Chains A and B, each alone.
Chain A
C-alpha cells in the first residue's frame, strides 16, 4: 500500500513568487493534516481536513496561505506571495476516519521550501 506522498520534494523560489505544494494521502484516509517545521524548530500544526472540509485551520500563519482539498482526496497548500520566513519543511499526514486514543497519523516525506 502506498504511503503519503508529497510533491515536490524540494522547491526553491524567490520572495514574492507563488508556490503550490501537493499532498496525496493514503487511500481511504478521511483526515489530512498539514504541518510545518521552520529553522529546525518544532513541527507546528497548520490545518486539518476531514474529507473536503476544513476541521481546524487554527495553525495557518496568515492569509498568504491557502489550503484546499477538492473532492476529499489530495490536498494543495499554496503560498502567495512567499516570504523569507516561509522557508522550512512542510509535512502532510493522514489518518483513518475513526478517531480514538493513539490513532496513528502517517506522515509524508515533506517538501523542503526555500525562499530566497
Chain B
C-alpha cells in the first residue's frame, strides 16, 4: 500500500544552519505531496505542498520539490531559526470528489539552538 518514509530525528542544528529532511514515498500513480509542521503545543499546520511532478512548494523559507523519478519530496531551508523548532511531517494524499485521506510519515523533530 501507499506509504511515506522520512528521516528519523531528532535533528539538532545551530541557528542559520542549512536544513534537509529527507522524505520518500511509495504510491500507485502520482499523489499530491505535503509537508505539515507541528509547533510545540499546537496542531498540525500545512507548511507547503506540491500537486504534480517537478512542482516546487515553498513557504516561510522552506522548499520541497516533487521528484517523480526518485519518489522523493525532501524539505530544505537555507538558514533555520530557533522558531523553526517543531515536528515536521511528510505526507501524501489523493484528490477526488468527496475528499480523501492523508498518509503521513512518522515525523521528524527539529531542534534549533541559538
* Residue in B44, B93, B95 whose CB lies within 8 Å of A91: B44
Known: A91-B43, A104-B49, A109-B42. A42 touches B105 (CB 8 A): yes
Q: Known contacts A42-B105, A48-B101, A50-B98; is A102 also within 8 Å of B43 by CB? A: no
Q: Quick one: which of A41, A43, A95 contacts B99, CB cutoff 8 A?
A: A95
**Contact between chains at A107 and B45 (CB < 8 Å):** yes
Total number of B residues with any Cβ neighbor in A under 8 Å: 29
A33 proximity list for chain B (CB < 8 A)? 99, 101-102
**With a CB–CB cut-off of 8 A, which chain A residues contact B96?**
99-100
Give the number of residue pairs across the A-B interface with Cβ within 8 Å: 82
Q: Give min CB distance, A90 to chain B, whole Å.
A: 11
Nearest CB on B from A7, distance (A): 13
In this assembly, does B11 line the interface, its C-beta being within 8 Å of a C-beta of chain A? no
List the interface of chain B (C-beta within 8 A of A). Answer: 4, 32, 36, 41-46, 49-52, 89, 91, 93, 95-107
In contact, B52 and A104 (Cβ under 8 angstroms): no
B49 → chain A closest CB, angstroms: 5
A105 within 8 A of B: yes
Q: Judging by beta carbons under 8 Å apart, are A100 and B95 in contact? A: yes
- A40/B107 in contact, CB under 8 A: yes
Question: Which residues of the partner chain B approach A110 to less than 8 Å between Cβ atoms?
Answer: 43-44
Q: Given A91-B44, A101-B32 in contact, is the A43-B98 Cβ separation under 8 Å?
A: no
**Partner of A56 from B50, B95, B101 at Cβ < 8 Å:** B101
Question: CB-nearest residue of chain B relative to A92?
Answer: B43
Q: Is A103 located at the chain interface by the 8 A CB criterion?
A: yes
Residue pair A108, B43 in contact (C-beta under 8 Å)? yes
Give the residues in chain B near A27, CB-CB below 8 Å.
Answer: none
- Subset of 16 A-B contacts with CB under 8 Å: A4-B43, A40-B106, A45-B101, A91-B43, A97-B99, A99-B97, A100-B95, A101-B95, A102-B95, A103-B99, A106-B46, A107-B43, A108-B43, A109-B41, A109-B42, A110-B44
Chain B positions within 8 Å of A44 at CB level:
104
